[in-house]
Structure 1
Amino acid sequence: MDQPNHRVRVAALRRERMRSRLLEAALTVFGAAEDETAAVDEVIRRAGVSRGTFYNYFNNADDLLRAAADEVGTELMLAVAPIVEARDDAAERIGAGVRSWISLVGHYPGLAGFFRRAGLYILSNERVRTDLPRDLMAGMNSRRFTIDELELGFVLVAGTVLAAINTLAIGKAPRTYGNKLAERVLMSLGVEPIEAREIARARLRKPQLAQESLIARAGR
């Protein structure tokens, strides 16, 4: 009686594994390939699938890029959430989030190259568009921040982080890079310089990704 349902579950699992294999290849390939056709060819080669199989899952290179970017955004937000949400103060939350993202990108160097291609797609991720505005609104409502426009705050934080990740992609940044970045981001939101520096230098545990996360697998 359960045999048809079992076959459906097995087929769904197989499909999810294949999709995951393509996303893993994409995370590595898109950080280096400039030409979309070449990128698709290399993803197919790395994933060990046929061209027909690729197009069963994605319409084109941009479709694949968006899917990989969304997965990356979700994984990053899940990794930093316990660190960010352990703090009540909005400024401390923003500072911890900025530092944690930079820490993860620094630990997985291939991510920086991927961000150069897909950064704006990553910023469209649902978790990014929910969690960061949540903390910005908390800071605005409590007058912790002097800005009064949510989208401006989002751009100040997310845009600065993207620019910083681009720096990581083209050269090695100093060990204190994340701290200095968080300090300046907080100042741009209206936190006093002395306090911004204290928050940015406070002890912070390193964010951890699950061993079988897309980012971790692609970084091996």
Structure 2
Amino acid sequence: MPQLVHIAGMASSNHRARVAALRRERMRLRLLEAALSVFGQAADEPGVVDEVISRAKVSRGTFYNYFDNADGLLRAVADAVGTELMQAVAPIVEARDDPAERMGAGVRSWISLVERHPGLAYFFRRAGLYILSNEQVRTDMPRDLVAGMKSRRFTIDELELGFVLVAGTVLAAINTMATGKVPRTYGSKLAERILMSLGVEGSEARAISRARIAAPALSPDSLIVRSIGAGLSAG
């Protein structure tokens, strides 16, 4: 009889453990579902709006005269940042005739600017896809891709695929920069791999990516410089 009681006790204990584990897993899934619904919504974010109003020292009514919500503000800032980055990079890119050299210089220049202004990496994590909608980004990069395709410098034959290869890789790289340190040669290695993905032979891609280029510069009164000076890089 004592043996049966012991076995019954063990069974009861195992059952309680299984029930407890099941409840923990259900609660975990419930929390994950709630988090996904929050992160996936495109609604206004009152906390963000309040912080912007406080820092800008304007009234709520003034804010809503210019933007409908936090997402509209984020899109507008992303567009301005995209324009400033492209304008800073343009002289370096356009000093070259070869599409592969232009692409390599553009990638390295973007990474260089993010390295010198770390707050950009945090901003890109949130607004990177919005920056890709910038008119100058959607004009200049495809221009060089088309030139490379027509001259057979690039072996890809679909413009949108080329855009995704370049832009997607750069965004992923900048995300890495926001989460930890990267080597000093990060921009060159990134440009090399992007050129290879577009069809440039390895040794040539390496040579292009290691060639000396001028450092891109932002105007002292640019939105990026002023904002980072006010604390955009915090986080």
Establish whether TM, by shorter chain, passes 0.5: yes
Which residue pairs with 1:167 in the alignment? 176
Q: CA deviation at 1:36?
A: 2.2
Q: Structure 1 stretches (4+) deviating beyond 2 angstroms?
A: none
Partner residue in 2 for 1:69: 78
Q: What is the alpha-carbon distance in structure 1 between the residues aligned to residue 129 and residue 135 of structure 2?
A: 13
Question: Per-residue deviation at 1:182?
Answer: 0.2
1:208 pairs with 2:217: yes
State the one-letter code of the partner of 2:67.
Answer: F
Count of residues paired in the alignment:
186
**Equivalence map 1:10-159=2 (5 Å):** 36-159=45-168
Shift of 1:48: 1.1
What is the CA-CA distance between 1:206 and the residue it aligns to? 0.6
- Tell me: higher relative CO, structure 1 or 2? Use CA pairs within 8 A at least 6 residues apart: 1
Same amino acid, percent of matched pairs: 78
Match of 1:197 in 2: 206
The one-letter amino acid paired with 2:85 is L
Q: Which amino acid aligns with 1:81?
A: A
Q: How far, CA to CA, are the matches of 1:94 and 1:121 in structure 2?
A: 21
Please give the alpha-carbon distance, in whole angstroms, between the structure 2 residues aligned to 1:209 and 1:64.
22
Q: CA RMSD in A?
A: 0.9
CA distance, structure 1, for counterparts of residue 48 and residue 179 of structure 2 = 20
Alpha-carbon distance in 1 for matches of 2:87, 2:69 = 28
Q: How far off is 1:106 after superposition?
A: 1.0
User: What secondary structure, in the 3-state scheme, does the structure 1 residue paired with 2:174 have?
Assistant: helix
| Equivalent AA in structure 1 for residue 74 of structure 2 | L
User: Normalising by the residue count of structure 2, what TM-score does the alignment of the two structures yield?
Assistant: 0.78
**What residue ranges of structure 2 are gaps of 5+ in the alignment?**
1-43, 230-235
Which residue of 177, 193, 206 corresponds with 2:186?
Answer: 177
Residue type at the aligned position of 1:108: H
Which 10-residue stretch deviates more, 83-92 or 48-57? Answer: 48-57
CA–CA distance in 2 between the matches of 1:215 and 1:179? 23
CA distance in 2, matches of 1:77, 1:151: 19
TM-superposed CA distance for 1:67, in Å, is 0.4
SS at match of 1:68: helix
